[in-house]
Amino acid sequence: MNANKMYLIIRSVMGLAFHLAFTATALYRIDIAQLQIYQLILIGSALEIAVFLFEVPTGIVADLKSRRLSVIIGFFIIGIGFVMEALTPLFIMIFIAQIVWGLGYTFISGALDSWVSDETENIEIEKTMIAGAQFNKFFSFLGIVLAGVIGMYNITLAIYVAGGLFALLGVYAILIMKEHHFHKEIHTLPLHKEYFNQLVKGFKHIKKNKVLKIMFVVMLFFGLFSEGIDRTYELYILDHLGFRQAWNIPTIWILVIINAAVAFIGLIVLQIVKKHIKEGKHVTLWAFNFTISMVVGLLIFAYFPLEYVALFGYVFFSITREGTHPLLNTILLKNTPSKIKATVLSGFGQLDAIGQLLSGVIMVGASVAFGIKGMYGIAAALLLIPIIFLPQTNLKTKDD
């Protein structure tokens, strides 16, 4: 099986398993664990603590040892983390579970995209990234619906199934995933020195690369804006906008309908982007437009008085946000040499985590001082800042 097909299969199963888990855990935390707003944000902070601590070390492991091995380890650890959360609704267990599956995610972050970038030798990598996002989005839709079906009977069972899917994905990768273009170098220095040297190489490259220096600012603020809305949007939709009372259906299906709409429309948006991007052209322009659209959608979601228009604002915000991810990854991939690719991508993942950790503190304070609407307004203001750094004349891939 060629690398493109393998990548699409992995992204598909990840989309199915992640969104099965995310849809189920959203209701699990609100209705079963009965977490408060600050606890929901702290749960997100636990995940980012794991990313902050482990993102760069695991990226270096992927560059020095094997991208394939790193991805396989990540699948199994993520599965363990999801199972841990389902064991008991105690806040402390949910908090620890986020750290565990966050550790697993760091083994995949950077390594998976670096693997496919090398195995395809960056041939039409833009299309591969967007196709991966499309397959991920389609199977996310299926995962969301599956969460509704299983969740009607048992919410925790849906979380267990998601954990099991990641374990199966790990087994599948062991059997099928190949690594032909990764050239492991012979290292004579002690492991800790090799680790440090790889880290230095990654940061030196970022420092001397104009595009990556701009991306440094962009990714930091993308992390800063996100934590509050990521952990509270379900609560806001269900209780503050009143959809729990307005739609006389099981609560899990309210989340299923909304998240499925985001996944389905997002799939269409990604197809439009894929159609118009040619060999890296206009990547930055699309990212710029999507970021502006995110701000508009978030402000509508927070402040528009009509609940259905506010809900549309959330959907609009979400689909444009999803559209930015493969575009920003493309910019990073095309400006980083193979030998330090996973290290650099993981470094940016860690930067995003730093932003989200700071965001947790900012958003908890904002929610206490200004309420949930004020918190969303501050998030939108933070998101405006990276727009300054995204004009097409200043941020281009090598092929632009």
Domain ranges within the chain, ordered by starting residue = 3-180+190-388
Q: Is 39 exposed, middle or buried (0-12, 13-18, 19+ CB in 10 A)?
A: middle
Residue 90 CB neighbours (<10 A): 10
CA distances to 21, 124, 218, 360, 365 from 253, rounded to whole Å, are 14, 39, 35, 28, 31
Contact 56, 139 (CB under 8 A): no
Structure-token pair, residue 186: 């012979």
Looking at residue 186, its pLDDT comes to 54
Q: Is 227 exposed, middle or buried (0-12, 13-18, 19+ CB in 10 A)?
A: buried
For domain 3-180+190-388, give its CATH number from 2.60.40.10, 3.40.50.620, 3.90.1150.30, 1.20.1250.20. 1.20.1250.20
Contact 335, 397 (CB under 8 A): yes
Which residues make Cβ contacts (< 8 Å) with residue 149, sequence separation at least 6?
Answer: none
Name the pTM for this structure: 0.72
Looking at residue 390, its pLDDT comes to 54
Structure-token pair, residue 95: 């908090």
Structure-token pair, residue 234: 């379900």
Looking at residue 330, its pLDDT comes to 76
pLDDT tens string for the chain (400 positions)?
688 889 999 999 999 999 999 989 988 998 899 988 788 888 888 887 887 788 777 777 777 778 888 899 999 999 999 999 999 999 999 999 999 999 999 888 778 888 888 887 777 777 788 888 888 888 988 998 999 899 888 999 999 999 999 999 999 999 988 877 666 655 555 555 666 676 677 778 878 888 788 788 777 877 777 777 788 888 889 888 888 888 888 888 988 898 888 888 888 887 777 776 654 556 677 777 788 888 888 889 988 888 999 999 999 998 888 777 777 777 777 788 777 776 777 777 777 778 877 877 788 788 888 888 888 888 777 766 766 665 544 445 444 4
Distance CA 307, CA 164 (A): 37
Q: Is 281 exposed, middle or buried (0-12, 13-18, 19+ CB in 10 A)?
A: middle
Distance CA 179, CA 119 (A): 7
Residue at token pair 């966050």:
102
Distance CA 78, CA 83 (A): 9
Nearest CA among 327, 50, 378 for reference residue 221: 378
Distance CA 65, CA 130 (A): 27
